[in-house]
Amino acid sequence: MSKLLTLLPVSPPRASTFFVPLIVFSIVIVIYELLHLASVAPEIIRFTIGFALVFIVIFAAFRNGLWPALLIATLSNLYIIYALGGPGRHIVPLSNMLRGEWLLLLLFFTPAIVIGYLRDLVNKLIQRERQARDQVEEERLQLIKTLEHMPVGVVIAKAPTGELTFSNSYLEQLSGHPIPNHEKLNDYPGNVLIDEHGNPLPQARWPITRVLNHENLVNEEYLYALPSGEKRTLQIKGAPIYNNNNQIISGVVIVDDITSEKESLQRKDDFVSMVSHELKTPITSLKVYTQLLLRTINNPDDTQAKTLRKIDEQANKLHQIINNMLDIAKVTTSSQSAKPQTINLDAIIQDVVQDLQATYPDRALSIKGLTPGTITGDRDQLSQVLINIINNAIKYSPPVSEIFIQSQIQSGSIVVSVQDFGIGISVKDQERIFERFYQAQNGSETSSPGLGVGLYLSTEIIKLHGGKIWVESRKGQGSTFYISLPLTKSTTKSASKQRQSPATTAE
């Protein structure tokens, strides 16, 4: 098709272009008429003129298509009849001419119809292809313009090499210099993404490497070091792109600079933490004096005693809220101060379950199965996560229903699950319950509504440990919360061996 494009005079038919074959046709006729007048038109000239007319028909068919070619063919046909058999010529008797007309028709109309029709057909196909190509090109430009002007950074890289195929101006503004063309992942500057200690991130943890390794990134935070040494916080989303055969063809990464949001959040956290600290002392005094006063009252049914107990209750709630606030502040700063130690998760699970069972003796907490697994982390923080989740299971399920706790090894991680048969969580709420201060509608149905920070705190702690937390739930049927934590490398092998042996059960 592309060869034909160059051979054929392909263009949208224009009336003016038809004048060319018409003028050539007229010139040929004038030449013949002049030769005839001068009586110098031998046989050979007549043949030449005849062939010239056939060529003009072919030329018109190529150049102008079917209908102009048919017109020239008709004119040529009529002229030949006139020139050879018309009045005053008698070169060939008119009756013979008319009998042989079908031959002339064949001579002029066959090339006009065949070539003209094919030319129109090819022209139509080419036009259609051109329109489609123009449309694709326009859409491509529109897409590039949209990506170029998006208020977030966009990086697109080819799989599997990592060749950079697109990056927009937001990224250039962010990095403070033009983004050079990278042909391989190794060409990317390796020292711009850093960990919390300021060390360059290994290539395997770069967002672009991860999406090219089939990972989806959802709002992940990265630290970025500017040439000036200033650190920025980036929020990154990313996804691999597959073709119809399910083969990865490229990876796209969306980058947003959330440094100022992080800073204002930090200022808010600092303020809340300071106020909470300040409030702790007066509330402790309030509690102590309330307890003292309660002890002085002999009759517990006394109105004064009832009032004091109410004050004590509210002071306890205030105390709980302040503790939550302080926990948030602690967890947001602990990423820098955490001192990881090797711990046995099954031992922590058993301790937490025992403590909670003692606090809620009427509730049935059952450990369905435990797999020994060593992880690296903070014992207190992980206990806090388990307490939050089991406490929720107790809070949001009827007193008679059981709660199952279990741990299993799954591809290099230990997965702890807490299952209840309570009120459950709607799909819409499941997406949001891990956000700070978010409480699902069902929260108000319980007698002891919380603050909506327990799951947020748990998520932050689990993230700090390089793990994941998620929920599976059906409204009205109960929920299962899962925590997955990476096993300490040296124990991964032995733990997976133990996975084969039956799980230990403790109640």
| Residues binding ligand ADP (CB under 6 A) | 388, 392-393, 396, 420, 422-425, 433, 439-440, 442-443, 449-456, 479
Question: Which residue number, 293 or 387, has a Cβ lying nearer to ligand ADP?
Answer: 387
Question: Which residue number, 76 or 459, has a Cβ lying nearer to ligand ADP?
Answer: 459
Query: Least distance (Å) from ligand ADP to the CB of residue 259?
Result: 27
At residue 167, the 3 state secondary structure works out as: strand
Query: DSSP E strands: which ranges in 168-306?
Result: 193-194, 217-225, 231-242, 248-257
Closest-approach residue to ligand ADP (CB): 450
Question: Which residue number, 77 or 388, has a Cβ lying nearer to ligand ADP?
Answer: 388
Query: Least distance (Å) from ligand ADP to the CB of residue 149?
Result: 39
Extract the tokens encoding 374.
């060593």
365/418 Cα distance (integer angstroms): 10
Strand partners for 363: none
Q: Which of 410, 386, 417, 377 is nearest to 495 (CA)?
A: 410
29/72 Cα distance (integer angstroms): 12
Query: Least distance (Å) from ligand ADP to the CB of residue 453?
Result: 6
427/158 Cα distance (integer angstroms): 35
The bridge status of strand 402-410 relative to strand 364-369 is parallel
Query: Least distance (Å) from ligand ADP to the CB of residue 282?
Result: 24
Question: Which residue number, 67 or 434, has a Cβ lying nearer to ligand ADP?
Answer: 434
Query: Least distance (Å) from ligand ADP to the CB of residue 434?
Result: 8
Question: Which residue number, 130 or 317, has a Cβ lying nearer to ligand ADP?
Answer: 317
Question: Which residue number, 115 or 322, has a Cβ lying nearer to ligand ADP?
Answer: 322
> Can you give the three-state secondary structure of 32-97, one letter per residue?
HHHHHHCCCCCHHHHHHHHHHHHHHHHHHHHHHCHHHHHHHHHHHHHHHHHHHHCCCCCCCCHHHH
Query: Least distance (Å) from ligand ADP to the CB of residue 334?
Result: 18
Query: Least distance (Å) from ligand ADP to the CB of residue 387?
Result: 10
Question: Which residue number, 58 or 405, has a Cβ lying nearer to ligand ADP?
Answer: 405
The bridge status of strand 413-420 relative to strand 374-377 is unpaired
